[in-house]
Every structure is written in C-alpha cells, then in structure tokens.
A and B are shown apart, each in its own frame.
Chain A
C-alpha cells in the first residue's frame, strides 16, 4: 500500500513527458502511412465518390465527389502538422481528443483511397459502424459499472450468451418485449452468481468469471442442441423494428445514420449518458467509485461496501443482458450456438481502451465496431488485406494501451480485490 502511493507521482510525471513524444511520433507515423501507402499508389486525376444516403432511406442528399490525390495530400499534411505541434508544444489535456481526430482523419484517408475510381456508400458504412458498436459498448458499460465498484467482470461474454438465448426463447413464446425483459433478467441472475462467489465467498474474481463463461457456453449449447434444433418455433422471435425519431431523422446525412435504429441503439445511448452522469455527477456515483478506489475509507465513512458492490455487479449484469438480447432480438432474430463470438471480450477491451470512462468506452466501441464492420466488407471493397488482421486490431490495440506505450490507463485502485471487513 505505502510503496504504491509513493511511486504514483513519479510514474505519472514520467508518463506525461514520454507520452507527449510517443503521441507525436504516432501522429507523424500515421501521416507517413497516408503519404507512403495511400498517396503514392494513387494516380493523379482519380476521383473518389462517397454516397451519403444509406441504402433504403428516402432522403436524397448529393454524393460527395472529390479528387483522391489532393485530398490525401491535404490529410497527410494535416496529420503531420498535428504531429509536429504535439512534439514541439504538446496538446496537453486535449491529447486524447486530438488522437481521436487524427484517427478519424486516417480512417477517412483510408476510405478515400479504397474508393478511388469507384463509389463507396459512406453513410451506409457509418450506420453499420454504429450498429456494430452496440454490443461492444454495452459490454464495456457493464464492465465499467462492475470495475468502478472494484469487481472485475470477465464474465460479460457468458452473460451475453445466456441472455441472447433466453431472449430468443421467451421472445418466440411471449413476444419481443418479454424476450428482452428475460434477457436482462438472465444477465442480472448470472451477475448475482458472480457477486455471491466473488463478494460473499471471496473467490478469485477471474475464476468466478471463468465459471460463468464455461457454464454459459455449456448450458446454451446444451439447450440449443436438445430443444432449439428440433423445435424451430422456440427460436424464431423476430426482431425489433427501427424507430425513426421525428424531426431529427430528416437531418440530411446524419439523420438516417444516427436517428433511425431499433431500441438497442437508443437504449445504449441512454445508458451511456445515464452511466456517465450517474458515475461522475451524483452521490451514488461518488460512493460507488470510492468503493472501487478505497473500500476501507468508504466503509469508515459509513458506505456499505458489500451492498454497493452487489448493486453494481447486478446492474452491470443487466446491461450485459441487454447487450446479449441485441444479438437475437436486435440483429439476426435467431439464436445460434456461441453466437456472441468474443464480443463480450472486445467489450472488456473497449473498457480498458476507454480508460474506464463511459464515453471513452463508446469511442473505443466505435473504433472496434468500425474494424468489425470493415473486416466483413473488405472482400467487397476489393482490398487485399486479410480481414483477420483487422479483426485482431482491437486486441493488439488494447495490449499496447495496457503496456502504457500511449499513456497508462487509470484503473480503479481496488479493482479485483475482495473486501474483508475488519474486526469480525
């Protein structure tokens, strides 16, 4: 404990100085990639066309047409300038926002290069990115809620899987809303198991999470093989239809991308805002975070550490359950064995990438969702990059972040440590 508190300032100061240069080099490197790989391979006079209406929308917004090479050169220059400024002066507190901006510029440059001499539906890509970000972000929010209270939750994947299956079964039997409700409850119940094991019995939280993951894969595959394969009527819930937000959906370009989704997208946005507000602007959030940072101090101040942790884990599990129901009721309308395919673990990565902050996690969710979406379409776009490497990107990026190369994350101090009340 004491050694930890004395080393923190030195690490922090060392981190910021090194971090400034590293970030500057990263920005410059991205500029170099745009120039070397994209600009140089593009012939002068090539035209990029971006369609700005997602498929199926009535709005008619003109296409974005520009010469590929000039735009690529402009983007490379802007990134280089930002990198140079970062090296010389530094953006200080705004570095993370600038990193996001550079990432966006880089992605734009990549898409311009891909679409040179062809037409690309930019609006469709962005809409698909938002959709792919839904389960990842919900998983990350679930993790944030648990870990901010000091309980590590690697069982998000299992909670999502079980909830996806129960949502499909109950959705088929009693309608979509009952399905959604049972999915959320399933997530909450598994979370209760995790909470009892890790809070009451002080089991190692990783082991407890592994128990839930193995159990979930087993029980969902068991039920799927025994019942769902033979009785199709148990596995045909249908999906929630899109809701158009009146007024907002008519905004050109943005409207059809962001304001015409099913309830899972809007639910995610609401939960995101609620969690951010709750964690950082309410007494509830202050107490929850204090339990995750220093449970003994929180206990001394009269906060019930155990109750707070139980509540955080169960609410987190319900969020994961909501995210799990998305797979069946919001996406494909059917349960398949191990259909979550690691999305829960990407959510965990997004949580770390977003530095245990809801909006940071959403940003990471968008980035990972973009990689996910792009991997599915690489072949269609005619890019000769194996899609598997794009799918690896989130994991590699998370390991880099965790190694502190681009700045050390601030995880809750008591994360993963069971709390033992003294003097009993």
Chain B
C-alpha cells in the first residue's frame, strides 16, 4: 500500500534522502520494525510484571488483582522511563508558566540528555550500517570505539596551548584515525588473506580492551592517581555545550547528524558508494565490472572503524573529559541492532539511535523510581534485535502477509566466504 505512494517519487530523478529511506523501508514492510519495537517493549513490561513480588503474594487470593498489580508495575516503570527520557509533562508546564530559567532547564534536561545519550549510538550504528552495505560484518565497533576514545583523549590532554578551533578538530580526528586503524587491520586481513572479519573484529575487541587496561595503568594514567584513569583533557579539546548545567547536550549531536548525512551522501551519491554497495550486494558482479574489491573492502572497514572511533571520541570529549575503563557499556554490540532496525540506511540508523538513547536515558530514572535495574534495557534490545532479524516471527504473531520480494536478509556470507 505504501509502496504505490512512493513509486512516483522513487522513479523521478531527484531522490531525496527521505525518499530513498522510504523506498528502503517499504521494500520489506514498514510495519515489521515498528511492531518489533512494540513487541520488545511489551515483553520488557512483562518481565517487569513477572519480577514484581506482590504479583505472587496476591495470586492465591485473586489472580485478577495480581494481574492488575503486574500491569500497574509495568505501567509505572514505563511512566518513570517516559519522565526520565522525554520529560515530565506537568513539570514542563509548571516550569514554563513560572518562567524561572533554572526550572525550565531542569524540566527539559531529560529530553536533551536523551539526545546526548544517542550520540554514540548514531556513530556506532552508522559504523555497522556502512559495513553491512559493503557486505562486511563489523562486530568490532566496541573495540574501535575504545581505541578512538584513547587516541582522542591522548590528543586532548597531551597537546596544550592550542586554540579550540585547532585542538578540538585534532582530537576528534585522532579518534576517527584510531578507530580507522582498528577497522583497517581486519579489513586488510579480509581482503588479502580471507580471514573472516567477524572473528578478527572479535579478537580486535579484546585486544583493544587489554590495550586500554594497560595504557590506563601505565603510560596514560593520571599522575598521582592509583586508579586506572586518564588525565583530564584540556578545555580547548572539549566539545562545547549549549546550555548551563545540568544540561550536557553538546556539539557532538550535530556532528553525529552531519556524519549521518555524510554517510548517506557517500553511499548513494558517489561512485565510491556505488562500488561499495555493489561489492556488498554481489561481489562477483563487482569483480566482473572491474571494481577493486580489495580496495573497497579495506576502505569500507576503515571508514566503519573511523565512525566507531568517533563514537568513543564524542563520549570522552563531550561528556567525561577523561577516560576510565568500562566507559562504553556495550554501544558497540547494541549498534548491530541499530543498523538492522534502520535497515542500514543512515536516516533509519539515526531514528533507531534516538530510540535507544531515549531508552537508555529513561532506564536510569526507571531504576530510581520503580526499582527496575537498568539492565532490562539490554534484554529489550536483544528481543527487538531478534524480532528484526527474524521478521517471520513478527509476521506470524501479527498474521502479516509475507512480501513477495523478501529481500531484507543480510548480505553477509558465512565464515568461509
């Protein structure tokens, strides 16, 4: 149904970013990703209800009441999640009517914090999506993110006396370069020796973790500190924030959006992007067309690594201003879900990243207000990923028709390929 509407738009020569995105989405079914997200959230609520003790104590007296308590618990949790991630509507109205500036800042902070939390998700999701487009499974975004954080923090504190206009781009560039190196190695190994990038990026992840542990206990350790933590970066390397405390919303968000547009432009408007997508869709055809598969593979993995590196750089330059172990909390792995939900399209990735950033931000409030550990978010993300990856499950649950051209499978081959 939606397909017909977009047909004229896609056949015309001028394709807007949104047009291409719509086309990509409707090729499968727009419903599947949305239903996958809804189902994941519902199941998350079910887990919350099932882990509420009161449900079991009242069950023997009145099962109906027990179910009510469970539903209530789930609703309360999601209410807290909403207030913590979008903002409490009452508070926003009160703050606006009072006209007090500090109150307005506090009221809008949850929403802006959600945007801030989605920055690493946007970058890491773009990294994985770019790899998918070239037929490469970059499961090493997590490691690339660590390396990017390390290199940008190093440039951030080691160079002193530079103006921000030079220092900040240098630090960001260092992050991208570090991540690119960590992506280049498996890309080169894949192109030259056929060593599968999935295994190699997993290995590179752990090498990155160990390397960062070593650096934070050794060369990069803050002088005088016994904890494994880096020195603070110079003020000139910090990504500027737009509002006063407590709002942490920073320039990184707009850099992330620019990166998303850059990836879109590269993939769909340039010759390199065309080659990249061709290699991803059909390497044999690409070879017959005279494309250099080695070069495309190495380039795709390096760019993917650079994007993941930017995720790490934005976390340290925009939020933490230093590097401590375990600062990432799994962005690299969640980004696989983002790329799949967004169908490896930059706009889709950005939307999915906004959703995940919102969830993660709201989960903190949920933990405080409703005593639901933040880790429920990981469970929901895993469920959403499962439904996205196996759309047949969603189609079975909601009795959707299977589309004729069921071409939303990944173009990734097995170990041997």
CA distance A197 to B333 in the complex (A): 18
Q: Which of B333, B377, B389, B416 contacts A204 (CB 8 A)?
A: B389
CA distance A206 to B333 in the complex (A): 12
Contacts A218-B381, A345-B206, A392-B206; A210 near B139 (Cβ below 8 A): yes
- Chain B residue with minimal CB distance to A210? B336
Judging by beta carbons under 8 Å apart, are A395 and B375 in contact? no
- Please report which residues of chain A, range 374-424, place their CB below 8 angstroms from some CB of chain B when the two chains form the complex: 386, 388-389, 391-392, 395-396, 398-399, 402-404, 411, 413-417
Contacts A204-B409, A218-B379, A392-B206; A415 near B336 (Cβ below 8 A): no
CA distance A411 to B381 in the complex (A): 32
Judging by beta carbons under 8 Å apart, are B373 and A222 in contact? yes
Q: Which of B189, B211, B217 contacts A402 (CB 8 A)?
A: B189
Query: Residue-by-residue, is B322-348 near A (CB-CB < 8 Å gives 1, otherwise 0)?
Result: 000000001001101100100000000
Q: Which of A147, A222, A402, A413 contacts B376 (CB 8 A)?
A: A222
- Does B313 sit at the interface, judged by CB under 8 A? no
Q: Which of B101-109, B193-201, B248-256, B295-303 contacts A (4 or more CB under 8 A)?
A: B193-201
Judging by beta carbons under 8 Å apart, are B340 and A221 in contact? no
- Please report which residues of chain B, range 67-118, place their CB below 8 angstroms from some CB of chain A when the two chains form the complex: none
Judging by beta carbons under 8 Å apart, are B379 and A395 in contact? no
- Please report which residues of chain B, range 332-389, place their CB below 8 angstroms from some CB of chain A when the two chains form the complex: 333-334, 336-337, 340, 371-373, 375-383, 385-386, 389
Judging by beta carbons under 8 Å apart, are B414 and A415 in contact? yes
Judging by beta carbons under 8 Å apart, are A217 and B389 in contact? no
Set of chain B residues within 8 Å of A152, measured between Cβ atoms: 414-415
Judging by beta carbons under 8 Å apart, are A416 and B415 in contact? yes
* Extra inter-chain contacts (13) besides given A225-B375, A226-B372, A417-B414, CB under 8 Å: A147-B415, A210-B333, A211-B386, A211-B389, A212-B382, A215-B379, A218-B377, A218-B380, A221-B373, A222-B379, A342-B209, A388-B214, A402-B200
Contacts A349-B203, A404-B195; A206 near B412 (Cβ below 8 A): yes
Judging by beta carbons under 8 Å apart, are A207 and B410 in contact? yes
Query: Residue-by-residue, is A162-206 near B (CB-CB < 8 Å gives 1, otherwise 0)?
Result: 000000000000000000000000000000000001000111111
Query: Residue-by-residue, is A213-229 near B (CB-CB < 8 Å gives 1, otherwise 0)?
Result: 11101110110011000
Binding site for B on A (CB under 8 A): 147, 152, 154, 197, 201-208, 210-215, 217-219, 221-222, 225-226, 342, 345-346, 348-349, 352, 386, 388-389, 391-392, 395-396, 398-399, 402-404, 411, 413-417
- Chain B residue with minimal CB distance to A414? B414
CA distance A416 to B390 in the complex (A): 16
Contacts A201-B392, A217-B330, A414-B414; A402 near B196 (Cβ below 8 A): yes
Judging by beta carbons under 8 Å apart, are A226 and B139 in contact? no
Judging by beta carbons under 8 Å apart, are A207 and B385 in contact? yes
Judging by beta carbons under 8 Å apart, are A398 and B203 in contact? yes
CA distance A207 to B210 in the complex (A): 25
Query: Residue-by-residue, is B196-234 near A (CB-CB < 8 Å gives 1, otherwise 0)?
Result: 101110111011011101100110000000000000000
- Chain B residue with minimal CB distance to A418? B414
- Does B58 sit at the interface, judged by CB under 8 A? no
Contacts A211-B389, A217-B378; A416 near B189 (Cβ below 8 A): no
Q: Which 8 pairs from chain A and chain B are nearest by CB?
A: A416-B414, A218-B378, A215-B382, A388-B214, A225-B373, A201-B390, A221-B375, A218-B379
Q: Which of A154, A386, A395, A416 contacts B214 (CB 8 A)?
A: A386
CA distance A396 to B195 in the complex (A): 13
Query: Residue-by-residue, is B402-416 near A (CB-CB < 8 Å gives 1, otherwise 0)?
Result: 000000011011111
Judging by beta carbons under 8 Å apart, are B383 and A197 in contact? no
Judging by beta carbons under 8 Å apart, are B214 and A399 in contact? no
Judging by beta carbons under 8 Å apart, are A204 and B412 in contact? yes
Judging by beta carbons under 8 Å apart, are A207 and B340 in contact? yes
Contacts A207-B410, A218-B382; A399 near B373 (Cβ below 8 A): no
CA distance A395 to B208 in the complex (A): 10
| A308: min CB distance to chain B, Å | 17
Judging by beta carbons under 8 Å apart, are A221 and B378 in contact? yes
Q: Which of B47, B51, B389 contacts A197 (CB 8 A)?
A: B389
- Does B157 sit at the interface, judged by CB under 8 A? no
CA distance A403 to B47 in the complex (A): 44
- Chain B residue with minimal CB distance to A396? B207
Set of chain B residues within 8 Å of A197, measured between Cβ atoms: 386, 389-390
CA distance A208 to B412 in the complex (A): 13
- Does B182 sit at the interface, judged by CB under 8 A? no
CA distance A211 to B204 in the complex (A): 20
A sample of 24 inter-chain contacts (CB < 8 A) reads A152-B415, A197-B390, A201-B390, A201-B392, A203-B390, A205-B414, A206-B198, A207-B336, A210-B333, A212-B382, A214-B334, A214-B378, A218-B376, A218-B381, A219-B375, A219-B378, A226-B372, A345-B202, A345-B206, A349-B203, A388-B213, A398-B199, A404-B195, A415-B415
Set of chain B residues within 8 Å of A411, measured between Cβ atoms: 415-416
| B295: min CB distance to chain A, Å | 19
Query: Residue-by-residue, is B127-138 near A (CB-CB < 8 Å gives 1, otherwise 0)?
Result: 000000000010
Contacts A201-B390, A213-B333; A219 near B379 (Cβ below 8 A): yes
- Does B393 sit at the interface, judged by CB under 8 A? yes
| B77: min CB distance to chain A, Å | 12
- Chain B residue with minimal CB distance to A215? B382
Contacts A402-B196, A403-B189; A342 near B373 (Cβ below 8 A): no
| B205: min CB distance to chain A, Å | 8
Set of chain B residues within 8 Å of A342, measured between Cβ atoms: 206, 209
Set of chain B residues within 8 Å of A217, measured between Cβ atoms: 330, 375, 378
| B199: min CB distance to chain A, Å | 6
Set of chain A residues within 8 Å of B409, measured between Cβ atoms: 202, 204
CA distance A207 to B198 in the complex (A): 11
CA distance A222 to B381 in the complex (A): 13
Judging by beta carbons under 8 Å apart, are B389 and A203 in contact? yes
CA distance A353 to B375 in the complex (A): 34
| B219: min CB distance to chain A, Å | 10
| A159: min CB distance to chain B, Å | 14
Judging by beta carbons under 8 Å apart, are B189 and A399 in contact? yes
Judging by beta carbons under 8 Å apart, are B415 and A389 in contact? no
Contacts A211-B386, A388-B214; A201 near B393 (Cβ below 8 A): yes
CA distance A389 to B203 in the complex (A): 14
Contacts A217-B330, A416-B413; A402 near B381 (Cβ below 8 A): no
Q: Which of A204, A346, A349, A352 has the most C-beta atoms of chain B within 10 angstroms of its own C-beta?
A: A204
Contacts A207-B336, A217-B378; A226 near B51 (Cβ below 8 A): yes
Set of chain B residues within 8 Å of A208, measured between Cβ atoms: 386, 389-390
Judging by beta carbons under 8 Å apart, are A392 and B378 in contact? no
- Chain A residue with minimal CB distance to B218? A386
Contacts A207-B385, A392-B211; A154 near B198 (Cβ below 8 A): yes
Set of chain A residues within 8 Å of B207, measured between Cβ atoms: 392, 395-396
CA distance A402 to B196 in the complex (A): 8
CA distance A417 to B415 in the complex (A): 8
Set of chain A residues within 8 Å of B206, measured between Cβ atoms: 342, 345-346, 392, 395
CA distance A147 to B203 in the complex (A): 18
- Chain B residue with minimal CB distance to A213? B333
| B305: min CB distance to chain A, Å | 15
- Chain B residue with minimal CB distance to A151? B414
Set of chain A residues within 8 Å of B415, measured between Cβ atoms: 147, 152, 411, 415-416
| A203: min CB distance to chain B, Å | 4
Judging by beta carbons under 8 Å apart, are A214 and B202 in contact? no
